[in-house]
Chain A
Amino acid sequence: MTASQTAGPTARLMQGDQACAEGAIAAGCRFFAGYPITPATEIAEVLARRLPQVGGKFIQMEDEIASIAAVIGASVGGAKAMTATSGPGFSLMQENIGYAAMAEIPCVIVDVQRLGPSTGRPTSPSQGDVMQARWGTHGDHPIIALSPSSVRETFDLTVQAFNFAERYRTPVILLMDEVIGHMREPIVFPDPETVEQVKRPGTTVPPEWYKPFENFPSDVSPLVPFGEGYRYHITGLHHDERGYPTNRLDEIRPWLERIFRKIDRSISDILLYDKDGIEDAETLVIAYGATARSARYAVDVAREHGRKVGFLKLKTIWPFPDEVVEHAAARLHRVVVPEMNLGQLALEVERIVDRHKVRRVNRADGEMIQPAEILTAIEEWAR
């Protein structure tokens, strides 16, 4: 038995932003490029100190466009790479996020959401970037977005974001919010050896046979880093299996089908959520991020009042868990969807569930949704 086991793990008081940075290190992140922005700056500050300690590299770029570009370049060089920003910077990154989706380059983009639009209220929380995370870049593409609701969950989902990025060769967005980023909670780190680190799949074929965009059986072809003897081409143009630009429909269509299929076929691995008391519920509350904390409280109080309320907390918000919601809401008369925007993920819920059953609880003024507001919505419907 080691000393640490006998003493037991020590809890550390830490912000969500710090936990994100530590989660990145634990996941094997060895490159970060970013630009200062409230409320995400602490992630950069922690990684500026921590990355060189573990042999990694940190750089503060001239803007957010350069930051995501450097992250993609570093990933092509073989490093697990991340950037972190908030709404305004996230907007600037969109074109290159599309590049990462097109060229299937693993990377993690953290967006600690603040109230928008525009400069908005930089130190106030929001969940206003939900649709931007899905559709912010032009063109059709799959995306994975995860949203934590506690400091420890931020650590875990940051690790998960890297693992999804590497496993599925895709950009992954970690959609935090100002409350989660700046809130301090005691956190016990897992033993680093127990943290799953997905290694980017390598190839066994010789360089002359290697096709970096091959229509592979798993739909994810291995990405060999630059500099390891496999010389190939990467482009944001539509491309063939070797990466060369193409206008041929018989090359573009299979590519498009494959990049969606590689996510769809692994949906059970990608969809992360907690459900509680759904089986005998009459009302279902669906929430994510900081709002899930108010929702949790409201659900508990409603239950004390004798209401049968189920709770579905989403950690993966993109792809949207259609079947999970459909299944959970099948017998229910009402679904309450609180979020710190004017109804973004609610649109997805309404796509699955009859919209007359859906009650939105929204705020987009930079203040958290209070449990009482959610409770009122639950109670109104229960009457």
Chain B
Amino acid sequence: MSKQQRESRVHERYLRHSKKFPNVWCAGCGIGIVLGAIIRAVDRLQLDKNDVALLSGIGCTGRMPVYVDFNTMHTTHGRALAFATGLKMVRPEMKVITVMGDGDALAIGGNHFIHAARRNIGLTAIVVNNLTYGMTGGQYSPTTPIGAQAATAPYGHIEQPFPIAELAVIAGAAFVARSTVYHVQELEKYIAQAITKQGFAVVEAVSYCHTTLGRINRWGTAPDMMRRLKEQSVSLRQAEKMSEEEKREQVVRGVFVDRDIPEYTQLYDQIIERAQGEAS
């Protein structure tokens, strides 16, 4: 068996075959690519499936956990990180990963996102940023570009987008990286790094939605939009040489921060020691 064949078989060992296929995503969607990257990252790290929890909120990305053979939980809209915080606190030995869309993580769940980062709790937060609410049909999200049309912005969008990775850095995350669904191997590498990191680790996976926002704005087919991710993205190093104006047209990829700061559940273990020391 060739290396390529072996790798294509990896998914079979992680997907649930019992009931849940075909999946809900449109043909050409980037979410499946992110799921593939997560699976390969977990496989590369040789984690025990029993020790991995995958939680999501609501939306197209929210449907990801059901397909994969981990401990999986499809929670309420925006709240995946809050559910994950409770789980991580009572099961600190588990690798708790959340997958969220941009609306899920940054609009309705924005408060949980910045506070999980501030707390630096050992969760992996993967944000699939497709710039819109796909499941409900292309309404503007916190990352929709200014000027784009959306189902709820028929005259053009007038709000500034959140830069997810930069926001996570400022909010206090221990690890923050951004890649795209075109740069699959890079994405997989960042996800593996994030899962390994002690502390709150964010990976922004820039994707697209060709059936809603893409169609409304005549951005072309899925391959067209994939090509744009390839052509209009630069590494952090390349971005350093660019003007602010030039950078605005690009997806800047790379590891934005990787710092060692005390992780929350480990700090809480010290609280328990202190409390029990005082009590005895």
Q: A231-B50, A233-B66 are in contact. Are A69 and B76 (CB under 8 A)?
A: yes
Please indicate the chain A residues that have their CB under 8 angstroms from the CB of B49 in the complex: 231
Number of interface residues, chain A, beta carbon within 8 A: 46
**Residue B25 at the chain A interface, CB threshold 8 Å:** no
B74 touches A235 (CB 8 A): yes
A73 touches B66 (CB 8 A): no
Complex interface bits, B5-35 against A, C-beta within 8 A gives 1, otherwise 0: 0000000000010111000000000000000
Complex interface bits, B259-280 against A, C-beta within 8 A gives 1, otherwise 0: 0000000001001101110110
**Residue A72 at the chain B interface, CB threshold 8 Å:** yes
B274 touches A52 (CB 8 A): yes
Which one of B39-47, B77-85, B154-162, B200-208 is at the A interface? B77-85
Q: A65-B82, A69-B82, A226-B53 are in contact. Are A234 and B87 (CB under 8 A)?
A: no
B279 touches A53 (CB 8 A): yes
Please indicate the chain A residues that have their CB under 8 angstroms from the CB of B73 in the complex: 73, 76, 226, 233-235
B82 touches A73 (CB 8 A): yes
Which one of B90-98, B231-239, B241-249 is at the A interface? B90-98
B86 touches A69 (CB 8 A): yes
Complex interface bits, B48-87 against A, C-beta within 8 A gives 1, otherwise 0: 0111010100000000011001111111100100111111
Q: A62-B112, A69-B75, A231-B69 are in contact. Are A77 and B50 (CB under 8 A)?
A: no
A206-244: which have CB < 8 Å to B? 225-229, 231-237, 240, 242, 244
A53-107: which have CB < 8 Å to B? 53, 55, 57, 59, 61-63, 65-67, 69-79, 81, 95-96, 99
A31 touches B86 (CB 8 A): yes
Q: A244-B19, A244-B66 are in contact. Are A226 and B91 (CB under 8 A)?
A: yes
Range class of the B interface residue count: 35 or more
B19 touches A240 (CB 8 A): yes
A74 touches B53 (CB 8 A): no
Please indicate the chain B residues that have their CB under 8 angstroms from the CB of A240 in the complex: 19
Please indicate the chain B residues that have their CB under 8 angstroms from the CB of A228 in the complex: 50
CA separation between A245 and B276, bound complex, in Å? Answer: 44
Please indicate the chain A residues that have their CB under 8 angstroms from the CB of B276 in the complex: 52-53, 55
Complex interface bits, B207-219 against A, C-beta within 8 A gives 1, otherwise 0: 0000000000000
CA separation between A299 and B261, bound complex, in Å? Answer: 63
Shortest A103–chain B CB gap in Å is: 8
B72 touches A70 (CB 8 A): no
B279 touches A65 (CB 8 A): no
Please indicate the chain B residues that have their CB under 8 angstroms from the CB of A232 in the complex: 71-72
Please indicate the chain B residues that have their CB under 8 angstroms from the CB of A96 in the complex: 76, 79
Shortest B108–chain A CB gap in Å is: 9
A52 touches B71 (CB 8 A): no
Complex interface bits, A30-70 against B, C-beta within 8 A gives 1, otherwise 0: 11010000000000000001001101010101110111011
CA separation between A55 and B271, bound complex, in Å? Answer: 10
Task: List 9 contacting pairs A-B, 8 Å CB cutoff, sorted by A.
Answer: A49-B275, A75-B86, A77-B86, A227-B51, A227-B53, A227-B94, A231-B70, A235-B74, A236-B76
Q: Which residues of B contact A (CB under 8 A)?
A: 16, 18-20, 49-51, 53, 55, 65-66, 69-76, 79, 82-91, 93-94, 111-112, 115, 268, 271-272, 274-276, 278-279
Q: Which residues of A contact B (CB under 8 A)?
A: 30-31, 33, 49, 52-53, 55, 57, 59, 61-63, 65-67, 69-79, 81, 95-96, 99, 225-229, 231-237, 240, 242, 244-245
